[in-house]
Structure 1
Amino acid sequence: MNRVSSSFAAAFFALVLGACNSNPPAEQATAPRAAAQRPGAEAATPTGKKRLLFFGNSLTAGYGVEPEQAFPGLIGQKIDSLKLGYEVVNAGLSGETTAGGLSRVGWVLRQPVDVFVLELGGNDGLRGLPLTATRRNLQGIIDTVRRRSPNAQIVLAGMQIPPNLGVSYAADFKAIYQDLATKNNLVLIPFLLDGVGGDRSLNQADGIHPTPTGHRIVARTVWAVLQPLLR
Structure 2
Amino acid sequence: MAYGVASGALKAGVVIGLAGAASAEVTVAALGDSLTQGYGLAQSDGFVPRLEAWLQEQGADVSVINAGVSGDTTAGGLSRVEWTLTPDVDAMIVALGGNDLLRGLDPGASRENLDGILKAADVAGVEVLLVGMEAPGNYGADYKRAFDGMYGELSEKWGVPLAESSFLGALMQIEDRQAAMREFMQSDGIHPNAEGVTVIVETLGPDVLDLVERAE
TM-score of Structure 1 vs Structure 2, range by shorter chain: 0.7 to 0.9
Structure richer in helix, relative to its length: 2
Residue 83 of structure 1 deviates from its aligned partner by 4.3
Secondary structure of 1:187 counterpart: coil
Paired residues of 1:126 and 1:161 also in contact (CA < 8 A): no
Aligned to 2:190: 208
**1:179 equivalenced with 2:161 (yes/no):** no
Secondary structure of 1:63 counterpart: coil
Question: 1-side partners of 2:171 and 2:87: how far apart?
Answer: 33
**1:192 equivalenced with 2:167 (yes/no):** yes
Letter of the 2:203 counterpart: T
**1:220 equivalenced with 2:196 (yes/no):** no
Secondary structure of 2:188 counterpart: coil
Question: 2-side partners of 1:127 and 1:196: how far apart?
Answer: 22
TM-score, normalization by structure 1: 0.74
**1:132 equivalenced with 2:108 (yes/no):** yes
- Of structures 1 and 2, the larger Rg is shown by 2
* Residues 100-123 of structure 1: per-residue CA shift (max 9 Å, x gap): 111111111133422210000111
Aligned to 2:79: 103
Extract unaligned runs of 5+ from structure 1. 1-46
Question: 2-side partners of 1:109 and 1:87: how far apart?
Answer: 14
Change (3 A) 1:78 1:195: closer
Secondary structure of 2:167 counterpart: coil
Secondary structure of 2:118 counterpart: helix
Percent sequence identity is 35
Paired residues of 2:36 and 2:68 also in contact (CA < 8 A): yes
Question: 1-side partners of 2:115 and 2:105: how far apart?
Answer: 16
Residue 58 of structure 1 deviates from its aligned partner by 0.4
CA RMSD of aligned residues (A): 1.6
The alignment covers a number of residue pairs equal to: 183
Paired residues of 1:61 and 1:91 also in contact (CA < 8 A): yes
Question: 2-side partners of 1:79 and 1:164: how far apart?
Answer: 36
* Residues 144-166 of structure 1: per-residue CA shift (max 9 Å, x gap): 11112x1x220000100212221
Larger CA deviation: 126-135 vs 206-215: 126-135
Paired residues of 2:54 and 2:201 also in contact (CA < 8 A): no
Paired residues of 1:99 and 1:137 also in contact (CA < 8 A): yes
Residue 170 of structure 1 deviates from its aligned partner by 1.3
* Residues 70-120 of structure 1: per-residue CA shift (max 9 Å, x gap): 222111112333442211101100000011111111111133422210000
Extract unaligned runs of 5+ from structure 2. 1-22
